[in-house]
Structure 1
Amino acid sequence: MSSSNDDRSKRDEFGKRLAKARKAARPRAPLLSGPPGSVGIDADDLYDEETLERLGFDPARDLGFPGMPPFTRGVQPNMYRGRLWTMRQYAGFGTAEESNKRYHYLLSQGQTGLSVAFDLPTQMGRDSDHALAAGEVGRVGVAIDSLGDMRRLLAGLPLDTISTSMTINATAATLLSLYVAVADEAGVPRDKLRGTIQNDILKEYVARGTYIYPPRPSLRLISDIFAFCSKDVPHWNTISISGYHMREAGCDAAQEIAFTLADGIAYVKAAVEAGLDVDDFGGQLSFFFNGHNNLLEEIAKFRAARRLWSSIMQTRFGAKTDRARALKFHCQTAGMTLLAQQPMVNVVRVAMQALAAVLGGCQSLHTNGFDEALGLPTAEAATLALRTQQVIGYESGVTDFVDPLGGSYVVEALTTRLEEAARDYIRRIDELGGMVAAIEQGYVQREIQAAAYRYQLEIEEKKRIIVGLNEFASESPPVPVMKIDPRIEREQSERTRAWRAEHDTPAKAESLGVIDRAARGRENLLPPILAAVKVGATVGEISDVLRAAWGEHTEILTI
């Protein structure tokens, strides 16, 4: 037999075996992958080289090398072989003193960064003694009204060596100013401060609701933060562009990428239009994604987001440096997947979601407590959540390799499909005039609501099995639940009234007047806000000045 005949015979045999394998791989029933509308794991019966060819996948263009554009394989050349991700447990409740104790405890247990949760009044720019704060003080986070509160929150913490993330949006400029003021008092140089403020107001209009001012002045405030930090606090991440809450509201993986990056485009555009250099502030942008249940799709989601953002920063904004093009992200496991039924099963969900974040290349990670469907996490639940990260980091072996799933037929195919689906959404948003206009028209809200509705229908019709909810139900023993003492609200309100009375001075009144003039003009607001908190102005007082200058946003009805 000639060589050509022999080669033809081998190809024919391979083709028969491939056809047989594909037939055998076909599912008996439709498979579901994550929330509806996502790319779906049943797109192919068998993933192979032909799948990638059909998708136009080019390894040199689409994969590259770790630490280099397009960053599909990660933003660091050696990833976790050099240093593990920051283990950052989200915590904050009650008073500043109680939260401070929890931070010291978590650091003693091996946590490597802080993550501060603020209560709703702080997020909404209301002091604890305001009538609208009643019943919410210290409930879902710590109450911070003044410099005194921030001093107590950070007491004894090494601000020059730790990294602190603050989940705050509408009042981000004021809370950052309070943090900087405490560091100034402690003699910590500002260029030693490391951390992140969430500062992502656009997603508040879409999915979360803790907005105060209308979108356009809010974007101006964000640009002011970018400019201030690029010079004064150069190692602080000025924004954590967040898809997390949109995913919690019901969007799918492709929507999470698209809407998050579309928010990012709006922020970068606003900063560039304000005269900032994209290569100066681009490296201080960070992102915040949800870690959901579908392991492979989530890994692909993170890789697709990095690749797409690298392209956006280069082609839309002319970013020249790798630092400005690299997408760094924090991940939190999916709170909406946690059940009050059989709460210990949540330990498995959290571990799986955390593994996806690590295999997807996160820079920092929060793992939820198993009891968070019932209340704030107890110390025991928070410790177990931290131990979950530590087992993955030190025992699983996955950190010994850089992008261990890179080159996988399935992962590369899902990455490409998710990127293309996200591009389609971004094109539609561009047609509507950008993300701010799309939000003002209710487009993004409607898309998320439709996805959430489909997801709920699938659960109710048992097309999607949720263990312990619509299948495999059983009784489970109760678990301890943390409760916030109502006394905390009364004491915090009294403390804030006393602080305000003590600092009711001409210097404070003048500082608030400077903020008002800056808000009505074009001056950067961060220096006057920082000056105001240092002479005793409260979060509520500063927010009220900006309310008077800009007005308050009214929710858009999308039904």
Structure 2
Amino acid sequence: MTEEKYPLSSDDLAAAATADVKEWEQDELAAFLARQPESREEYRTGSGLAVERVYTPAHVDGDWRDIGLPGRYPFTRGPYPTMYRGRTWTMRQIAGFGQAEETNKRFQYLIAQGQTGLSIDFDMPTLMGLDSDDPMSLGEVGREGVAIDTLPDMEALFDGIDLERISVSMTINPSAWILLAMYVAVAEQRGYDLNKLSGTIQNDILKEYVAQKEWIFPVQPSMRIVRDTVGYCAENMARYNPVNISGYHISEAGANAQQEIAFTMAITKAYVEDVVTAGIDVDAFAPRLSFFFVSQADLFEEVAKFRAVRRFYARMMAETFGAKNPASMRLRFHAQTAAATLTKPQPMNNIIRTALQALSAVLGGAQSLHTNGLDEAYTIPSEQAMKIALRTQQIIADETGVTNVIDPLGGSYYLEDLTDRLEQGIWDYFAEIERLGGVVAAIEQGYFQREISDSAYEYARRKASGDRPVIGVNKHVDAESGERIETHQLDPESEARQIARLQQVRRERDPERAEAAMKNLLAVASDPGANLMPATIDAVKAHLSMGEITGALREVFGTYTETPVF
């Protein structure tokens, strides 16, 4: 058989590839399948997209400009021109347990191991805006994150840490604006320039109604709080991200990769519309929006997911909202490996899972990354587990060579086809959400909740049947219990110490100052046109507690009860 060069034009190249595939299927493939059939009738990605046997130029029929170059619209290949050749992603291992002093020690340990950014987990009472001595907090204080009640807790949390030199991410939503107020108060007490502070609060309340189910107030006042934090940071904190729109928790609730990015973009659109409607120019705040995605098990789909959502976001901001500043169209994201994939059986396998998931985040162009500890199917990670997780990132950065080339998988026929299909899937979901009346209406109708529930059920069904292999759980299962690992142990006296400090702060604060700050906060909250942040900063400086602030505001904003979805 004589070899012929493919024609140079893309159309001719695609046609020639299609002809070659047809001939190959009739000859080599048919003969081989007759002797050795494939193991499955159909192959699919983690989110259920059909996967063909082989990909060719016929699958890549888009405009080169859709792929483009890094740092250039539509940012498919990365938000910055040099990516990791100029600066490695921020290695941001999350930590939080017990009292602030205990978490501060973990921070100091991680910084000594080479971590380049802080990420904070808060306990359930803090997440829900409850004080540690609230009856609802019993047994939960400091258990799954650090307990923060008043400003002195925040002072202790950052003791000895230069907030102008290290970025701080706070994973908290319904009470996020109070934590931001405490962070600002600490910075001001130390004489820092607020415009030099970097980091983010998650503050993504719509995601809570969709997936994680942690809220305090109804949807509209909660949206107002997000809008107020965005407005405050746009004026006072030039480098700080006031909202970190999170697909991660949507995924952990059971959504697939397609739903994760589609629902995250729909929520983003709702926030941007709300802030623009309040009279703030899109280019004044959009450059400080940031995102948080999971890095799941299907390596190629995850890389394509990150590229697809980056391109979609750029087009939405330019075409829907008329953004002019390229920074407003540049999606920057933090990634975390998938906690839901970690298993109690054979826990050492979790190191391998995490390494591969971290690799997909890097290949997809993450700006910061958290790698999960091998023991997180049991409890919050031990120091040893956190060190291994951090070393995983450092090995990828320094030993593999994947940082040498920007978007090294770009141009892969398979990857580009997946990227195109995932981007189109976002548009398809948008059409349905708009038909339902928009994001808030869709939440109230239970649309997102049903979609996630159905996806979670389908995954559980496939896992139970073995169609979705999980090593150590439904395949290559050990007869005995397997490895024993070190796990983190919470100090049983931590809760009592935290409650004692909270009560001491209440006793020792200036009662007149606290009363005046509360009165002012309630007046501002009752004025829909006022920004809540300055009054909240004054309130925390007066040593009003988290629970006192949220409890008072419930009288203004009300509460929210979800209609269950089955």
- Please say whether Structure 1 and Structure 2 have the same fold, judged by a TM-score greater than 0.5: yes
Within the alignment, does 1:448 sit opposite 2:459 as a pair? no
Query: Stretches of 4+ moved more than 3 A in 1?
Result: 10-15, 17-28, 30-35
Match of 2:550 in 1: 543
Counterpart CA distance in 2 for 1:21 and 1:325 is: 47
Match of 1:499 in 2: 505
Give yes or no for contact 1:52–1:413 (8 Å, CA) kept in 2.
yes
Q: Structure 1 counterpart of 2:48, which letter?
A: S
Counterpart CA distance in 2 for 1:556 and 1:382 is: 39
Give yes or no for contact 1:292–1:353 (8 Å, CA) kept in 2.
yes
Query: Offset at 1:477?
Result: 2.0
Match of 1:59 in 2: 64
Q: How does 1:317-328 map to 2 (within 5 A)?
A: 317-328=321-332
Give 3-state SS (helix, strand or coil) of 1:400's partner: coil
| Equivalent residue pairs, number | 549
Query: Offset at 1:556?
Result: 2.1
Q: How does 1:302-451 map to 2 (within 5 A)?
A: 302-451=306-455
Q: Which runs of no fewer than 5 residues in structure 1 stay unpaired?
A: none
Counterpart CA distance in 2 for 1:16 and 1:557 is: 54
Counterpart CA distance in 2 for 1:541 and 1:14 is: 68
Give yes or no for contact 1:34–1:293 (8 Å, CA) kept in 2.
no
Match of 2:119 in 1: 115
Give yes or no for contact 1:249–1:452 (8 Å, CA) kept in 2.
yes
Q: Structure 2 counterpart of 1:84, which letter?
A: T
Counterpart CA distance in 2 for 1:319 and 1:385 is: 38
Give the one of 526, 534, 537 matched to 2:541. 534
Shift of the 22–160 alpha-carbon distance from structure 1 to 2, 3 Å rule, reads farther
Q: Structure 2 counterpart of 1:45, which letter?
A: R
Give 3-state SS (helix, strand or coil) of 2:93's partner: strand
Match of 1:556 in 2: 563
Give yes or no for contact 2:347–2:483 (8 Å, CA) kept in 1.
no
Q: Give per-residue Cα distances to partners, 1:352-377, cap 9 Å, x unaligned.
A: 00000000000000000000001110
Match of 1:39 in 2: 49
Q: How does 1:85-164 map to 2 (within 5 A)?
A: 85-164=89-168
Give yes or no for contact 2:510–2:542 (8 Å, CA) kept in 1.
no
Query: Offset at 1:494?
Result: 1.1
Give 3-state SS (helix, strand or coil) of 1:546's partner: helix
Query: Offset at 1:542?
Result: 1.1
Shift of the 252–32 alpha-carbon distance from structure 1 to 2, 3 Å rule, reads farther
Give 3-state SS (helix, strand or coil) of 2:543's partner: coil
Query: Offset at 1:431?
Result: 1.1
Query: Offset at 1:16?
Result: 2.7
Give 3-state SS (helix, strand or coil) of 1:199's partner: coil
Give yes or no for contact 1:254–1:418 (8 Å, CA) kept in 2.
yes
Q: Which runs of no fewer than 5 residues in structure 2 stay unpaired?
A: none
Counterpart CA distance in 2 for 1:89 and 1:14 is: 46
Shift of the 394–21 alpha-carbon distance from structure 1 to 2, 3 Å rule, reads farther
Counterpart CA distance in 2 for 1:173 and 1:22 is: 60
Q: TM-score, normalised by structure 1?
A: 0.95
Give yes or no for contact 2:95–2:120 (8 Å, CA) kept in 1.
yes
Query: Offset at 1:18?
Result: 6.8
Q: Structure 2 counterpart of 1:28, which letter?
A: S
Counterpart CA distance in 1 for 2:24 and 2:380 is: 54
Give 3-state SS (helix, strand or coil) of 2:308's partner: helix
Q: Structure 2 counterpart of 1:169, which letter?
A: N
Within the alignment, does 1:301 sit opposite 2:305 as a pair? yes
Q: Give per-residue Cα distances to partners, 1:464-505, cap 9 Å, x unaligned.
A: 111111110113121111121221111111110111111151
Shift of the 443–15 alpha-carbon distance from structure 1 to 2, 3 Å rule, reads closer
Within the alignment, does 1:199 sit opposite 2:203 as a pair? yes
> What is the percent sequence identity of the aligned residues?
47
Give 3-state SS (helix, strand or coil) of 1:536's partner: coil
Give the one of 204, 211, 221 matched to 2:215. 211
Query: Offset at 1:31?
Result: 4.9
Give 3-state SS (helix, strand or coil) of 2:168's partner: strand
Query: Offset at 1:38?
Result: 3.2
Give the one of 229, 234, 250 matched to 1:225. 229
Shift of the 30–240 alpha-carbon distance from structure 1 to 2, 3 Å rule, reads farther
Match of 1:50 in 2: 58
Q: Give per-residue Cα distances to partners, 1:43-93, cap 9 Å, x unaligned.
A: x2210001223xxx2222x11110011110000001000000000001010
Give 3-state SS (helix, strand or coil) of 2:352's partner: helix
Q: Structure 2 counterpart of 1:142, which letter?
A: V
Give the one of 19, 28, 40 matched to 2:39. 28
Q: Structure 2 counterpart of 1:551, which letter?
A: G
Query: Offset at 1:21?
Result: 6.3
Q: Give per-residue Cα distances to partners, 1:165-196, cap 9 Å, x unaligned.
A: 00011111110110111111111110110000
Counterpart CA distance in 1 for 2:333 and 2:342 is: 22
Within the alignment, does 1:280 sit opposite 2:284 as a pair? yes
Give 3-state SS (helix, strand or coil) of 2:554's partner: helix
Shift of the 22–363 alpha-carbon distance from structure 1 to 2, 3 Å rule, reads farther
Match of 1:241 in 2: 245
Give 3-state SS (helix, strand or coil) of 2:126's partner: helix
Give yes or no for contact 1:296–1:411 (8 Å, CA) kept in 2.
yes
Q: How does 1:169-180 map to 2 (within 5 A)?
A: 169-180=173-184
Shift of the 16–528 alpha-carbon distance from structure 1 to 2, 3 Å rule, reads same
Give 3-state SS (helix, strand or coil) of 2:335's partner: strand
